[in-house]
Amino acid sequence: MNFKLYAKLEDGESIELKKKSNEQYSENGIEVIFKQKKRGPITACYVSAKSDKAFDPDCAVSILIEEIEGLQSYVSGSSTYTDYNCWYAPVFGRDLKNVPPITQSFMWNGDTQFGAILCACDDYFKSEMMGTKKGLEIRIFDGDKGETEIPESLVFLIAEGENPFELNDGCVAFAKELSGRECFTREDRKYPEIFEYLGWCSWDAFQIRVSEENLLQKCEEFKSKNIPVKWAILDDMWADCTDLDTARYDDFQSMMKIMKASKLNSFEASPKRFPDGLRHAIEEIKKYGLKVGIWHPTTGYWKGINPESELFDEYYQSLVENIDGWYQPSFDENNRFYDGFHKFLKECGAEFLKVDNQSSFHFNKGMMPIGQMAKGLHKQIEASAKKYFDNAMINCMGLAVENMWARPESAVTRCSDDFQPENKEWFKKHILQCTFNSLFIGAIMWCDYDMWWTDDAQAGKNSLLRAVSGGPVYVSDTLGRSKKEVLEPLCLSDGRILRCDRPAVPTKDCLFDNPIKGHKIFKVQNTADDCGIIAVYNLHDSEKASGIISPMDVEGLKGDNFVVYEYYSKAYFKLKHDEKANVELENDNDYRLYIIIPVTDDIAFLGLSDKYISPKTYEKCSNKFMLKETGKTAFVTDKEVKAVKVNGNAAEFKMENNLYTFEAGGTGIEILLNK
């Protein structure tokens, strides 16, 4: 891979640097050291720089990759906003010049192997990519003004290999090794127990109308419908903020303008909508068996802290005036603002957090290097989150590399922008964001696909997508609109989610072509213990889409012979590991769920057949299957069944085409075959 190295000064001058030695590049009073450290097929790239004049804070150094040998197609993770990069979406192409600005992950399909470039952020520098007429440009910068010397930083990694799913994971694992951090990869992070259960969020349900009264009405609905929601997030607009309770608005956009202009007055809830305080509201919610989490942004509120409040006076030393002239918590690791805030929330009974607006460093541009800001912000938030909530938190609006690489221990992050109810086009964007972003994000953290509605026209699609996601599952239905039957396939009767093993990602044959174009099906794959899971979608409106599925679609799936059970049709077929089956979907309301079960001891045991991720409904113990609860159970075998025993007693069963079904009134299942 050939490249050229450039430096750009604050006055706008761009200078091509000449190679002076193995690692040194210089020209006109500028010196850049470009180091590479290798581990097998992975290369980590470091940059340090110094100059007689100040560097451009937005592009101190750039590396131009003029061509990638054998490039056939690519997918890039690119910012969906132009002003700041809190959300990302995939962009597909074949020409490097078309890679959008603010791209932070790049994967390509080559003639003989796959490749990946992963941007990083260290103590000072961060990097982003974009296409130019000359090729792929990796821009390296620290965002600070007047810098003439920048210490060495890891800025990006490159990997090539035969398996595309190993590339980002390998890059992140190598970065962990180089950093010396104990907690870096997803496997290092503790998934919060609370997110093993079904949840609910107040945002789309109530927005600015959120109050103790309507929260308790929603809890009463869950109770009356016997919906096993176990936690609730008090999302945006619960707080005591200037203008939220007094300003008038005519539509959603007007409401959002009010929200974005409001400032935090205190740690308490709105005195108008929570007249007895936050503690009382949480105590009342807990009477319904729900744990409560609290939302807040990194800035205190969207426009910071009200300078006329007692809160401002108490925490003045922990605040900083940003470039827009309003006050927010500083980036000092010893900042006591979040500790005070989280202590108050804990004392009110909160048990977890959702922390929003994390990619908000544009408010502080030029104040200090972006790597230092990010590390300071995340260390102080997670120090108090760990102290009071054992790091049970959802990170939000924070997909930029400076966020992803700076989080010490928290395990879960949102991976798409906000849910939009009754919006078919939004769902297409959403499924691509979630699954393609997980290729990078999933190497570092668990991925949260956001809230959704059970009575939305896209509810079936959203429900299936959450089932295969590997992350939290929570809805935001407003009063009276929650549908138990939509949620039942996702969880056990106690609300425990039947969660897949890792973040879901597209299948290999769906990685590099835009699924919305052409007439191909779009496949999302995961595993559930030793079984494969494939969700299949048609993203083409009223047009048919076709393709194939195979056990080979599921990364890491072991076995030679499989039963492939389709959840909605209740039909099955058999495939060997390298065999394929045709799939055709009529339109975008047609979707499928395939559970790929290895045949072991002549049996493919499905488990509770009314659950999406049925392999998670049981455990194999010697020659028995132990269900996690009772219910309709299924298995496939070509052998003659002598008896099915449930807790030692013979059970009646039905058989059609070697698919056996029975109602398990107990949890211990033994299947006796005539050999």
| CATH at residue 436 | 3.20.20.70
The reply to whether 187 falls in a domain is no
Pair 234, 295: CB distance under 8 Å: yes
Q: Characterize the bridge pairing of strands 668-674 and 640-646.
A: antiparallel
**370 and 478, same domain (yes or no):** yes
**365 and 410, same domain (yes or no):** yes
Tally Cβ neighbours within 10 Å of residue 487. 22
- The CATH number assigned to the domain holding 614 equals 2.60.40
The reply to whether 498 falls in a domain is no
Task: Provide the greatest CA pair distance for the chain.
Answer: 87
Pair 7, 30: CB distance under 8 Å: yes
Which of 565, 599, 633 corresponds to the end of one domain? 599
**143 and 273, same domain (yes or no):** no
**381 and 476, same domain (yes or no):** yes
pLDDT at residue 504, as a whole number: 98
The reply to whether 122 falls in a domain is yes
Does residue 421 surpass a pLDDT of 70?
yes
**Which letter does DSSP use for residue 378 in this model?**
H
Domain extent at residue 300 = 193-490
Rounded to the nearest angstrom, the gap between the alpha carbon of residue 83 and the centroid of all alpha carbons in its chain is: 21
Does residue 82 surpass a pLDDT of 70?
no
The reply to whether 363 falls in a domain is yes
* Percent of the chain scoring above 70 in pLDDT: 99
pTM of the model: 0.96
pLDDT at residue 84, as a whole number: 67
Tens of pLDDT, residue by residue over 87-116, are 999 999 999 999 999 999 999 999 999 999
**255 and 118, same domain (yes or no):** no
**486 and 558, same domain (yes or no):** no
**214 and 279, same domain (yes or no):** yes
The reply to whether 202 falls in a domain is yes
Which of 599, 623, 649 corresponds to the end of one domain? 599
**267 and 374, same domain (yes or no):** yes
Tens of pLDDT, residue by residue over 570-626, are 999 999 999 999 999 999 999 999 999 999 999 999 999 999 999 999 999 888 999
Token code pair at residue 300: 């205190």
* Percent of the chain scoring above 90 in pLDDT: 92
**36 and 124, same domain (yes or no):** yes
**244 and 160, same domain (yes or no):** no
Q: Could you tell me where the beta strands, DSSP code E, fall in 235-336?
A: 239-241, 264-269, 291-297, 319-321, 327-329
Q: If you average pLDDT over residues 318-331, what whole number do you get?
A: 95
Token code pair at residue 404: 């992803």
**283 and 328, same domain (yes or no):** yes
The reply to whether 509 falls in a domain is no
The reply to whether 416 falls in a domain is yes
Does residue 34 surpass a pLDDT of 80?
yes
Q: If you average pLDDT over residues 117-133, what whole number do you get?
A: 95
The reply to whether 450 falls in a domain is yes
- The CATH number assigned to the domain holding 535 equals 2.60.40.1180
Q: Could you tell me where the beta strands, DSSP code E, fall in 488-557?
A: 505-506, 522-528, 531-537, 545-549
Which of 158, 180, 202 corresponds to the end of one domain? 180
CA distances to 105, 220, 471 from 212, in Å: 43, 12, 28
Q: How many domains does the chain fold into?
A: 4
**451 and 330, same domain (yes or no):** yes
Tens of pLDDT, residue by residue over 485-533, are 999 999 999 999 999 999 999 999 999 999 999 899 999 999 999 999 9
Helices (H), 142-268: 167-179, 203-206, 212-225, 252-261
